[in-house]
Amino acid sequence: MPGFELFGDLERQEVNDVLDNGVLMRYGFDGMRNGHWKAKALEAELEKTFQSKHVQLVSNGTAAVSVALASAGVGAGDEVIMPCFTFVASFEAIMMLGAIPVLVDIDATLGLDPQAVEAAITPKTKAVMVVQMCGSMANMDALQSICTAHKLLLVEDACQSIGATYNGKPLGSIGDLGCFSFDFVKTITCGEGGAVVTNNKTYYTNADHYSDHGHDHIGNDRGAESHPFFGYNFRISELHAAVGLAQVKRLPEFLDIQKRNYTILREALSQIPEVTFRTVPEGGVESYAFLNFFLPDVEIARKASQELKTHDVDACFHYFDNNWHYIRKWNHLKEIKSLFPISEGVKKGLGYLETKTFEKSDHHISRNISCLIKLSWTEQQVKDRAKAMVKAIQASL
Ligand SMILES: *Cc1c(COP(=O)(O)O)cnc(C)c1O
């Protein structure tokens, strides 16, 4: 991660195909396109990658989460349970529908804590949104059982975990709906892009219409289409899809590189008795997009974060102290700083954020260091990095 590190001839060729015939729109213009349907081809390719019946491309990962929830009927006043460690997009995507994000604790997987999920269920709960952070996963068996028992939708935000699997199934294909991002820093990038993945024909059809103004896409005359319901514009362009089409073909190569680099770093850090690693649920295989480890306490983690910088080790994050990924610093969300008036119901629904504490998550996130695994590193560079990381961490203990 990220895929842009290895842009090459394949990406150029796919983009040139689109520019040569000039159709940047994914629908219509059949006569002009000389057979090029990049978005459709990418959807077909992703259906194979995610072993799922249906894939709907959209404009980005945040849109994918909103479109997925909307397609399954989540809307005004519904509660969606989500983790307090994620990327802010998960929160935004729920708010956009007039639904209420209910944040709960994570566990040592760095994903949703099943007990916390169960405790947060109310009559208003419609969905559980698990966020598969940093290339790995939450305890999916436990979450699936809870959702089945309480008749809740299980939605996977797998934006950061393309290529990881659980009991042999790709992440994103396990819940009722899965969401992916192909933004500039993800394992596969289109620049901006996203996907909704599902085996449910109705959800897929809804996603197809909803992401393009409610057009039903029947026939090839856009003026004559009917509109079963209204939608918005969350379309991907052919240019973006072209880049994605080249990148997805290279996914196995990207995953091999991530695994090699991750393994070298992990083996080196394993020599330090104070370092422990994130729990990967049984049956889970990471995408190796990040290496996540824990230090004994928050002071050591803060010091290690500094020492890593001093030792010229970049791309390592201490999420406890950053304001993108963890509830602790999301003041604009806790204070509901909306640009426009929002409903009293949603305000009331978010009232819990004023007082709720997340001790269990603090315990994990405060001690966690998360290192991005890059694709462009040579084996020698990774070995040098491993040495520098060991030195930096030993200096902080
Ligand atoms: C990147 C990301 C998103 C949002 O994707 P965009 O394409 O940037 O909108 C959502 N959730 C998670 C976990 C992400 O990492």
CA 392 to ligand 1 centroid distance, Å = 30
Q: Return the CATH number at 316.
A: 3.90.1150.10
Who's near 248: CB < 8 A, 6+ residues apart?
A: 42, 45, 46, 49, 188
Q: Are residues 15 and 92 in the same domain?
A: yes
Q: Are residues 135 and 277 in the same domain?
A: no
Q: Are residues 281 and 224 in the same domain?
A: no
Atom of ligand 1 nearest to the CA of 60: 7
Q: What is the pLDDT of residue 225?
A: 86
Pick from 160, 161, 190 the residue to mutate for probing ligand 1's pocket: most ligand atoms within 8 Å of its CB: 160
Q: What is the pLDDT of residue 13?
A: 97
Q: Are residues 139 and 176 in the same domain?
A: yes
d(C-alpha 191, C-alpha 203), whole Å:
26
Which residues of the chain, if any, have pLDDT below 70? none
Beta bridge partners of 85: 326
Q: What tokens does 190 get?
A: 């289109």
Q: Are residues 108 and 170 in the same domain?
A: yes
Residue ending a domain, among 205, 228, 250, is: 250
Q: What is the pLDDT of residue 395?
A: 98
Q: Are residues 232 and 271 in the same domain?
A: no
Residue ending a domain, among 220, 250, 280, is: 250
| pTM score of the predicted model | 0.97
Q: Are residues 94 and 223 in the same domain?
A: yes
Q: Are residues 241 and 275 in the same domain?
A: no
Q: What is the pLDDT of residue 147?
A: 98
- Is 1 near ligand 1, meaning CB less than 6 Å away? no
- Is 193 near ligand 1, meaning CB less than 6 Å away? no
Q: Return the CATH number at 161.
A: 3.40.640.10
Q: What is the pLDDT of residue 220?
A: 72
d(C-alpha 282, C-alpha 141), whole Å:
10
- Is 396 near ligand 1, meaning CB less than 6 Å away? no
> What range defines the domain where residue 36 resides?
3-250
Pick from 59, 60, 62 the residue to mutate for probing ligand 1's pocket: most ligand atoms within 8 Å of its CB: 62
Q: Residues 38, 126, 151, 186: which is the catalytic one?
A: 186
Q: Are residues 178 and 96 in the same domain?
A: yes
Q: What is the pLDDT of residue 219?
A: 81
Q: What is the pLDDT of residue 222?
A: 74
Q: Are residues 171 and 261 in the same domain?
A: no
Number of domain units in the chain: 2
Q: Are residues 195 and 51 in the same domain?
A: yes
Q: Are residues 238 and 294 in the same domain?
A: no
Task: Render pLDDT for 21-54 as a digit per residue (tens, 0 to 9).
Answer: 999 999 999 899 999 999 999 999 999 999 999 9
360 is known as an active-site residue: no
Residue ending a domain, among 235, 250, 265, is: 250
Task: Render pLDDT for 194-204 as a digit per residue (tens, 0 to 9).
Answer: 999 999 999 99
- Is 87 near ligand 1, meaning CB less than 6 Å away? yes
Task: Render pLDDT for 245-269 as a digit per residue (tens, 0 to 9).
Answer: 999 999 999 999 999 999 999 999 9
- Is 183 near ligand 1, meaning CB less than 6 Å away? yes
* DSSP secondary structure of 180-191: EE-BTTSSS--B
Q: What tokens does 128 get?
A: 């559980």
